[in-house]
Amino acid sequence: MAQAQIAGQGPEGIVAVAAWLGDAPDLAATLQGIAATARSALGADRATCYVHDPGRHEVSAVYTTEEDPGLHAYLMRAVGSGPDQLPILMLQLCHPDPLLVIEDTASTPLLPPALAARLGAGAFIGLRLEHASVSGGEAPGLLGTLFFSYTQSRSFSEIEYQAARGLGHLASLALANARLQAETARALEDNRAMAAEQASLRRVATRVAGETAPEVVFGQTAEEVARLLGMEEALVARFSPEGAAVVGTHGAHSVIGDLLPTEGRGALATVARTSAPAEIADYSALDPSSPLRAHALEHGYRASVAAPVMVAGYLWGALLATTKREEGLPPNAAERLGRFADLVALAIANAEARQRLIDEAATDPLTGLANHRTFNERLRTAFDHARRHRHPLSLVMLDLDHFKRINDTHGHPAGDRVLVEVAARLGTLARSVDTLARVGGEEFAWLLPETPADAALTAAERARLAIADAPFSGVGWITASAGVTELQRGLGVDALVRHADEALYMAKENGRNACRLHVPEPPGLG
């Protein structure tokens, strides 16, 4: 996919980059594509990604959207430089939050006066590119930095912060994958024995980079581990208060969905307790009275090894391998298993990041409800289903009364708090099959599948009362008006929305704080 194709606007462009990562030909194309999308999605004058060499603690590569030859050459001179030679980079590394925002470079106290004077007016967003799968001591290792530069000072919205963090996370994933692949390439040169391991790692990494579903990665990882280590059984388990649920398996006695214990002295239980790798080199050497020894020997097990799967700094689960071979565990079994556990963690983190970006693109950033675009998509889906199966479908359009007065009297922050609280109150009324959306400033839509008009009118009245029956903190009492309509035979989806709006208008015209049902016009007489 060409960079121009992924340089979309807003969250859609970011989601496009997430979908594109698996097909990117190499790291350079990936980072250049992310920079192009960053400039477009955040309206930046320039987006630049610096890749850091972990060994020498200096910049090893620069990818930028800057087209001016002189400025481009200036940015490229950062290659080979360390933080002591790049003051803005030093500022970014010292900042407590990976996200650094400066809205006015000329007046911020964060910049030394001399540097601020040299930069002049402008703004920028900087992100440290880090990933939990890459260790930097006690904290995630620094993979690079990403900067969005603006020639004029400006302020940034919360959704822009989210978009910047999302792009930074995608760049971190790309760099973490590249780091892993580079380590794989170096390991392949060590000896022929390691070549087989790296080939297995590469196969799993390819699935991860290609955005394969995590459950598929779990199964493939278990298969690769068992084959590579010469162990008969391997599985991936996710920890919970109830135990360790098997989510991927190969050759194991356990099947998907089985719940294994996380208490006792077994390798899996030890990982759950310590968050560290664990192994049992010889079950027969355990205390003869141990239930674990008796269970293992009964099933013919000789040894086992487990490695933790850490996601975003927390213990997600573990990768376990067991063997019945007389010779027990292969050399460095825990260390080798840990490399596969890191790939499992990367697959999970990658999937979670993609889902967050998809969720952000589908929801209203203030209330967390579905946004206008998502509402329209679900409306058309529900409309097609209702028309095809001749099932009822109703729509409620609800609007807060005199909302402008709230903003004028109490300020927009107070108005935002009211909208969040209204969304929360409405959310207690909606069913799981319903769609509740914020479709305008103070306007909400409630789509009710399998619901006739009279039931929808009752639901709308409950919504009106939920808003009117309790004051809002710092604002007081508020009312709302609602319009209700039901899908009518022979009319399209646009008519459904129009009729709900007309009913809402009638509720407003007749005193507000009311619900009105759209009444179809009688058919002509001749």
Amino acid at 169: H
Q: Which residue has the tokens 């995590």?
A: 214
Euclidean distance between CA atoms 303 and 317, whole angstroms: 20
Sign of CA dihedral 173, 176, 180, 186: positive
Amino acid at 101: V
Q: Which strands make up the sheet holding 393-400, listed edge to edge?
A: 435-438, 443-449, 393-400, 480-486, 515-517
E-assigned strands of 93-212?
99-102, 123-136, 139-150
Euclidean distance between CA atoms 522 and 98, whole angstroms: 63
Dihedral (C-alpha) 320, 323, 328, 334: value to the nearest 10 degrees?
-10
The H or E element containing residue 319 is: strand 314-323
Name the residues annotated as catalytic.
442
| Contact call for residues 392 and 386 (beta carbons, < 8 A) | yes
Euclidean distance between CA atoms 482 and 523, whole angstroms: 26
DSSP-based three-state secondary structure for 525: coil
Closest CA to 143 of 162, 159, 127, 155: 127
Region of 179 on the Ramachandran plot (φ > 0 left; ψ -120 to 50 alpha; else beta)? alpha
| Contact call for residues 33 and 24 (beta carbons, < 8 A) | yes
Euclidean distance between CA atoms 304 and 322, whole angstroms: 4
Q: Which strands make up the sheet holding 139-150, listed edge to edge?
A: 58-64, 46-53, 139-150, 123-136, 99-102
Euclidean distance between CA atoms 137 and 139, whole angstroms: 6
Amino acid at 424: A
Q: How far is CA 130 from the centre of its chain?
A: 15
Euclidean distance between CA atoms 202 and 220, whole angstroms: 12
Amino acid at 28: A
Amino acid at 126: G
Strand-pairing partners, residue 49, are 63, 146
Residue 344 to residues 225, 308, 349: CA-CA distances in angstroms?
A: 12, 10, 9
Euclidean distance between CA atoms 370 and 439, whole angstroms: 8
